[in-house]
């Protein structure tokens, strides 16, 4: 992935209120994730199935650090869970968006219910724009469901005299951990 596209993505993502950090490999990203979660003082995390996250050895690392991962279960959904952890299927540089495609073990709920959302994103999943992503999708995953969620920054409501209130239904904070692969 070319550097200008990554920079464009970071600029656009920041513009809509998202935060980010970038690391040179998945191991460094794993340490960064642990540090970020510790800084937030959140030990319980609503997460995708950990094996589906794009960082090796994450389950053991989180466990050793005392974090407890909860798989999404809509019948026992704890509204007070403060942190959600997912990866992203793709990211769009021009708009600063991330794309989540649901599948077994990869629910949307960690991206929608908790107050904070951490997204693990390998840089090779950043596309220049929607057309580039759609083109790739047609080539590789044409037979899959098009049920997708495109997230561009944190959730907000500006219904009262256009005053922005962050964290209306979705997360108040969206943090991306980018890493090279």
Partner 1 sequence: MVESVVFLRQIHFRQTPDFWTKSAKCWKIERMMISDQRTRHTLHRLGNLTTAARNDAWSRVKNAEALKQQAIHARDRVLADLPAYLARLETATRAHDVAVLHAGDAQEANRLVIQTMRGLGVTDALRNHHPLLDEIQLDRAAKANAIQLTPLHPGDYLAQLADERPGHPIWPVGHLTVEAISATLQQKWRIPETYNPDHLTSTVRMPLRRALLRTHTAILGVTFAAVEEGVFVLLDNDGHNASLTSLARHVILLLSIEQIAADIDDLDALIQVFALSAWGRPLPAYVTHLQRPAPREIDGPRTIHLILVDNRRTKIIEEGFGQALRCIQCGACHSVCPVYQQIGGRGYANSPYTGPIGAVINPLLLRPDLGEAQAALCAGSGGCQDACPVAIPIPDLIHAQRIRLAQTHPPNDDKRYFSVWRRLISRPRFFRSYIRRSYRK
**Footprint on this chain of partner 1 (rule: CB under 8 A):** 16, 71-74, 77, 79, 94-95, 97, 102-104, 107-109, 112-113, 130-131, 134, 145-163, 165, 168-170
Shortest distance, position 66 Cβ to partner 1, whole Å: 26
Report the length, in residues, of the chain. 181
Identity of the residue, 72 or 122, whose beta carbon is nearer to partner 1 in the bound complex: 72
Shortest distance, position 97 Cβ to partner 1, whole Å: 6
Identity of the residue, 122 or 170, whose beta carbon is nearer to partner 1 in the bound complex: 170
- Tell me which residue has tokens 């026992």: 76
Pick from 150, 33, 157, 137: which is nearest to 96 by CA? 150
Q: Are 85 and 121 in contact (CB under 8 A)?
A: no
Q: How far apart are CA 101 and CA 149, in angstroms?
A: 7
Shortest distance, position 88 Cβ to partner 1, whole Å: 14
Shortest distance, position 177 Cβ to partner 1, whole Å: 20
Shortest distance, position 107 Cβ to partner 1, whole Å: 5
- Tell me which residue has tokens 């495109």: 150
Identity of the residue, 24 or 80, whose beta carbon is nearer to partner 1 in the bound complex: 80
Identity of the residue, 66 or 146, whose beta carbon is nearer to partner 1 in the bound complex: 146
Identity of the residue, 41 or 146, whose beta carbon is nearer to partner 1 in the bound complex: 146
Two tokens at 57?
């050895």
CA distances for 104 relative to 32, 59, 62, 101, 118, angstroms: 27, 18, 22, 10, 19
Could you list the beta-strand ranges (E) of the chain: 19-23, 44-47, 68-70, 83-87, 90-92, 97-100, 116-122, 126-127, 149-151, 156-157, 165-166, 173-179
């Amino acid at each position: 992935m070319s550097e200008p596209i990554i920079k464009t993505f970071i600029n656009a993502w920041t513009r809509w209120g998202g935060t980010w950090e970038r690391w040179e490999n998945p191991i460094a990203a794993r340490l960064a994730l642990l540090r970020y979660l510790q800084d937030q003082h959140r030990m319980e995390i609503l997460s995708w199935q950990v094996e589906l996250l794009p960082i090796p050895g994450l389950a053991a690392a989180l466990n050793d650090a005392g974090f407890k991962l909860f798989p999404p279960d809509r019948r026992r959904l704890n509204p007070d869970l403060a942190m959600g952890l997912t990866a992203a299927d793709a990211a769009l540089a021009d708009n600063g968006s991330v794309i989540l495609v649901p599948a077994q073990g990869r629910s949307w709920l960690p991206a929608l219910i908790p107050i904070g959302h951490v997204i693990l994103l390998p840089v090779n999943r950043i596309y220049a724009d929607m057309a580039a992503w759609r083109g790739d999708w047609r080539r590789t995953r044409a037979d899959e469901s098009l049920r997708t969620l495109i997230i561009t920054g944190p959730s907000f409501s500006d219904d009262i005299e256009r005053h922005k209130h962050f964290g209306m239904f979705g997360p108040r904070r969206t943090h991306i951990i980018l890493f090279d692969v």
